[in-house]
Amino acid sequence: MNANSNLERQGKPALTKTEKRIALKKSIKKNKWIYLMILPGILYFFIYKYVPMFGLIISFQDYKPYEGIMGSEWVGLEHFKRLFSDPDFWMIFKNTLILFALQIIIFFPIPIILSLMLNEVRQMYFKRSVQTLIYIPHFMSWVIIVSISYVLLTMDNGIVNGTLEAMGKQEVNFLLNPDWFRPMYVLQVIWREAGWGTIIFLAAISAVDVQLYEAARMDGANRFRQMWHITLPAIKGVIIILLILKIGDVLELGFEHVYLLLNASNREVAEIFDTYVYTAGLKQGQFSYSTAVGFFKGLVGLVLVIGANWLAKKAGEEGVY
């Protein structure tokens, strides 16, 4: 097995086509059961993911539902031109990337930290209770979360502003001030998803060999050092895979969430591709245009994932592919 993977990694460029074919044949013969195992999965992806992708070609058409894909007129890159020439294109692009960066830099580490903290708890009951409680918010829809935030933050008798006023402080216009949009967005994402995010890391941590901690303690390592030198390295693989997948998700920032937070005053910082395409395309049934924007988003995601995967491999890690 080791020899084989070495072959794959180092010998690849040197392989000729016939050699490749021989290797494949060998592999098929040796791993026929394995190929059989992945066959249903591959069929699934083909039928329900790849077949519908033919729909992407409508982004090069002036698609009319009643004429179908075969009958609709071809317009080439017309829709992409419209997107790039939209005066707000760069604003939207920037907003999307900033929210994405905030997700990666601020949100992403939080579930890891939380799960490390949970892992340090020795009382099982306490640990399980906290785990259960922090994962509740994941089940509240954005509509509920945004409306609760409104009650807390509004200038009209809101709870937070009421408290600020009582303390003799200046009231803050959280909801309408564009400066507050990004913090609010990130805080709400953290609130809803951080607890949920811990589950996967806790699963990874549970695979760590307990003996390692004992050995470390013998060497006099304190709790932080144990975390840093044992726990984190053990879950590094999972963290990197998640990070790459998250990066691929770059432009999925939660349409509903952003749309609910979006208003006249914060549009310059809050408009992202999903909200843009909603008013500029979907609402009027302009499928071609919305598909084109989705296509563009996919391309950006693809570039980022390939980049991230390449970096991961460069650093000697296992990438996603």
Partner 1 sequence: MVEDKTLSSRLFNITNATLLIIVALLCVLPFLHVVAGSFTTSAELAEKKFVIFPTEWSLSAYKYVFSTDTIFRALLVSIFVTTGGTLWSMFLSTLTAYGLSRKDLVGRRIIMFFIVFTLLFNGGMIPTFLVVQQTGLLDSLLALIVPVSINAFNMIILKTFFQNLPPSLEESAKIDGCSDFGILFRIVIPCSMPAIATISLFYAVTYWNTYMHAILYLDDASKWPVQVLLRQIVVLASGMNYDGSVYTEVPPPEQSVKMAVIVVATIPVLLVYPFLQKHFTKGALLGSVKG
Partner 2 sequence: MRWNQSYKVLIVFTVLIVLVACSNNKDESASNDEESGNQIEIMTRLHTPEVPEPNIEERIEEKTDVELDISWVPDNNYDDRLNTAFSTGTLPDVVYLGFNQFNQFKDAVRDDQFWEIGPYMDEYENLSKLKEDVLDNALVDGKLYSLYQGRPLSRQGLIYRKDWADNLGLDAPTTTDEFYEMAKAFTEEDPDGNGEDDTIGLTDRDDLIYGAFKTVSSWFGTPNYWGKQDGELLPEFMFPEYIETMDFFRDMHENGYINQDFPVTSKSDQQNMFKNGSAGLYVGSMGDVGSIYNDAKEINPDATYDVHNRVKGPNGEYGIWAIPGFGSLQLFPKSSVETEEELRKILEFFDKLMKPENANLLNWGVEGEHYTVEDDGAVPDENTQKFEREVKPYQSLPIGEPETNGRYEINDPYEPKRKSEELNKDNENFLITDPSITLESESAIEIGDRLQEGINDATYNYILGEIDKEEFEQAVETWRQNGGEDIIAEYNKSYENSKE
Question: Which residues sit at the interface with partner 2, rule CB under 8 A?
Answer: 64-68, 87, 147, 150-151, 154-157, 173, 175-176, 263-265, 267, 279-280, 282-287
Which partner from the list partner 2, partner 1, none does 165 bind, CB cut-off 5 to 8 Å by kind?
none
Q: Give the integer Cα–Cα distance in Å for 194 and 67.
A: 46
152: contact with partner 1 by CB under 8 A: yes
Question: Hey, what amino acid is at 95?
Answer: N
Binding mask 284-313 toward partner 1 (x if CB under 8 A, else -) reads ---x--xx--xx--x--xx--x--------
125: contact with partner 1 by CB under 8 A: no
Which partner from the list partner 1, partner 2, none does 75 bind, CB cut-off 5 to 8 Å by kind?
none
138: contact with partner 1 by CB under 8 A: yes
* Packing angle, helices 32-44 and 17-30, rounded to 10: 100
215: contact with partner 1 by CB under 8 A: no
The stretch among 79-87, 166-174, 178-186, 199-207 that binds partner 1 (CB under 8 A) is: 199-207
According to CB under 8 A, which one of 11, 38, 77, 171 is a site residue for partner 1? 38
> At its nearest, how many Å lie between partner 1 and the CB of residue 12?
10
17: contact with partner 1 by CB under 8 A: no
Closest CA to 238 of 211, 198, 196: 198
Q: Which long-range contacts (CB under 8 A, 24 or more apart) does 78-82 make?
A: 79/288, 79/289, 79/291, 79/292, 79/293, 80/292, 80/296, 82/289, 82/292
Q: For partner 1, give the closer residue by CB, 7 or 179.
A: 7
Residues 6+ apart with CB under 8 A from 194: 107, 110, 111, 114, 134
Task: Give residue 222's region: left, alpha or beta (phi > 0; psi -120 to 50).
Answer: beta
According to CB under 8 A, which one of 48, 76, 264, 314 is a site residue for partner 1? 48
Q: Give the integer Cα–Cα distance in Å for 209 and 225.
A: 16
Tokens 């399980």 belong to residue: 128
According to CB under 8 A, which one of 8, 19, 67, 268 is a site residue for partner 1? 8
Which partner from the list partner 2, partner 1, none does 64 bind, CB cut-off 5 to 8 Å by kind?
partner 2
163: contact with partner 1 by CB under 8 A: no
The stretch among 72-80, 83-91, 177-185, 214-222 that binds partner 1 (CB under 8 A) is: 214-222
Alpha helical stretches, state H, the chain? 2-10, 17-30, 32-44, 68-71, 78-85, 89-102, 109-119, 124-134, 142-153, 159-166, 181-205, 210-218, 223-226, 232-248, 255-261, 267-270, 273-280, 287-314
> At its nearest, how many Å lie between partner 1 and the CB of residue 56?
6
- Phi first, then psi, for residue 62 (nearest 5°) are -100, 80
Query: How far is C-alpha 198 from the geometric centre of its chain's CA atoms?
Result: 15
Site for partner 1 in 227-286 (CB under 8 A): 237-238, 241-242, 245, 248-249, 259-260
Which partner from the list partner 1, partner 2, none does 269 bind, CB cut-off 5 to 8 Å by kind?
none
Question: Hey, what amino acid is at 54?
Answer: F
